[in-house]
C-alpha cells in the first residue's frame, strides 16, 4: 500500500472513521475584537511597536534614516506615491530572484510597505508579492516599513476576520513582532542575530 493510503487507513482505524466521511461538527471560530477609533489604534500601535515610530512627511523621514547608507526598496505603489523610490540613495528592487537576493544582501537598509499593523502586539503584517519582497525585510540590518494609519487592526482576531485565508492573496505572510533576536547563549538577549537589528515604522 502506498504511504499515503497506509497512513490514512491507520488513522481511520484509530479514530473509527470511514473514507470520505464528513467531519464531526467543528468548534466555532473564536474571533473577538473591540471597535476602536483610528487615533486610539495609532496610539496603541506606537506604544507596543518594538522600534522607532516616526510621523510626518514620509519622504523626508525616510531620507533622514537612509542618509549616507545603502538602501533598497520594494517597488510598491505606496512607496512610489510617497516619492520614496526616487530618493537618490534608494535602489528600487527588481530583476531576477538572484538579483533581488544580492541587492538585499548588500544593503544596509530595507524599505518595505506593510499590509496591516496590529495594535495589541505592535506587530506588522507583510504580504510578499509582485511589489513586496520577503528578503528586503530580512537581509539588511535596518528595516524601514511604511504603513497607512487606516490599516491598523486591533490584533490577530481582526486580522483573521479580514483575511480568513492569507494563502489566497500571497504565498508568504509574515507577522513581524520585533527585531531579529536570540537568547540562546546564557539567556542574554541579543538583537540582529540573523535579520534586522533595528525597526522603524513610518506612519502615513
Partner 1 sequence: MSVAFHERIQYALLDERLQKALYSATGRLRDKRLSGVGADQLPDYQELRTQAHRIKQHTLENLDHYLELLAQRVEERGGRVVWCRDAGEVQSFIGDLARDRGVRLAVKSKSMTSEEVNLNEALERYGVEAVETDLGEFIIQLAGERPYHIVAPAMHKTRQQVADLFEAKLGVGREEEIPRQTMIARAVLRKKFLEAGMGISGANFLIADSGAVVIVENEGNARLTTSSPRIHVAVAGIEKVIPRAADLAVFLQLLGRSATGQTLTSYTSFLSGPRRPGEMDGPEEFYVVLLDNGRTRILADRDKRQTLYCIRCGACLNICPVYRRIGGYSYPGTYSGPIGAILTPQVLGLGHEPELPFASSLCGACAEVCPVKIDIPKILLELRSEVKKTEARERRWNAEKLGYLLWAWVMRHPRLFELAGMAAQALLPSGGDGRWIRSLPGPLRAWTAARDFPPPPAESFRRMWRARQRSG
Quick one: which of 22, 68, 88, 150 contacts partner 1 (CB under 8 A)? 22
Q: Does 21 bind partner 1 (CB under 8 A)?
A: yes
Quick one: which of 43, 148, 177, 204 contacts partner 1 (CB under 8 A)? 177
Nearer to partner 1, 8 or 63 (CB): 8
Q: Does 150 bind partner 1 (CB under 8 A)?
A: no
Q: In terms of Cα–Cα distance, which of 58, 59, 174 is closest to 125?
A: 174
Dihedral sign, Cα of residue 100, residue 101, residue 107, residue 108: positive
Cα angle 132, 43, 165; round to 5: 40
- Judged by CB under 8 A, the stretch of 54-62, 81-89, 125-133, 146-154 that binds partner 1 is 125-133
CA–CA distance, 46 with 40 (Å, rounded to integer):
10
CA–CA distance, 104 with 97 (Å, rounded to integer):
11
CA–CA distance, 84 with 73 (Å, rounded to integer):
8
Q: Does 26 bind partner 1 (CB under 8 A)?
A: yes
Binding residues for partner 1, total number by CB under 8 A: 79
Nearer to partner 1, 38 or 193 (CB): 193
Q: Does 159 bind partner 1 (CB under 8 A)?
A: yes
Q: Does 180 bind partner 1 (CB under 8 A)?
A: yes
Nearer to partner 1, 61 or 113 (CB): 113
Give, as ranges, the residues between 62 and 121 that touch partner 1 (CB under 8 A): 74, 93, 97, 100-101, 105, 118, 120-121
Q: In terms of Cα–Cα distance, which of 195, 149, 148 is closest to 176?
A: 195
Q: State the DSSP H helix or E strand holding residue 54, giving kind and residue range, or none if neither.
A: strand 52-54
Amino acid at each position: 500500500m502506498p504511504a499515503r493510503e497506509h497512513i490514512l487507513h491507520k488513522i481511520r482505524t484509530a479514530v473509527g472513521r470511514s473514507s470520505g466521511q464528513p467531519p464531526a461538527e467543528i468548534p466555532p471560530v473564536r474571533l473577538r475584537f473591540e471597535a476602536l477609533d483610528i487615533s486610539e489604534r495609532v496610539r496603541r500601535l506606537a506604544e507596543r511597536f518594538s522600534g522607532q515610530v516616526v510621523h510626518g512627511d514620509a519622504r523626508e523621514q525616510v531620507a533622514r534614516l537612509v542618509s549616507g547608507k545603502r538602501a533598497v526598496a520594494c517597488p510598491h505603489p505606496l512607496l512610489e506615491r510617497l516619492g520614496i523610490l526616487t530618493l537618490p540613495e534608494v535602489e528600487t528592487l527588481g530583476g531576477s530572484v538572484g538579483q533581488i537576493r544580492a541587492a538585499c544582501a548588500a544593503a544596509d537598509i530595507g524599505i518595505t510597505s506593510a499590509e496591516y499593523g496590529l495594535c495589541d502586539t505592535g506587530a506588522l503584517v507583510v504580504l510578499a508579492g509582485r511589489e513586496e519582497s520577503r528578503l528586503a525585510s530580512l537581509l539588511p540590518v535596518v528595516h524601514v516599513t511604511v504603513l497607512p494609519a487606516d490599516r491598523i487592526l486591533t490584533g490577530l482576531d481582526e486580522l483573521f476576520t479580514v483575511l480568513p485565508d492569507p494563502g489566497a492573496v500571497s504565498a508568504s505572510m509574515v507577522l513581524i513582532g520585533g527585531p531579529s533576536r536570540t537568547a540562546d547563549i546564557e539567556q542574554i538577549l541579543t538583537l540582529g542575530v540573523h535579520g534586522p537589528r533595528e525597526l522603524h515604522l513610518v506612519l502615513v
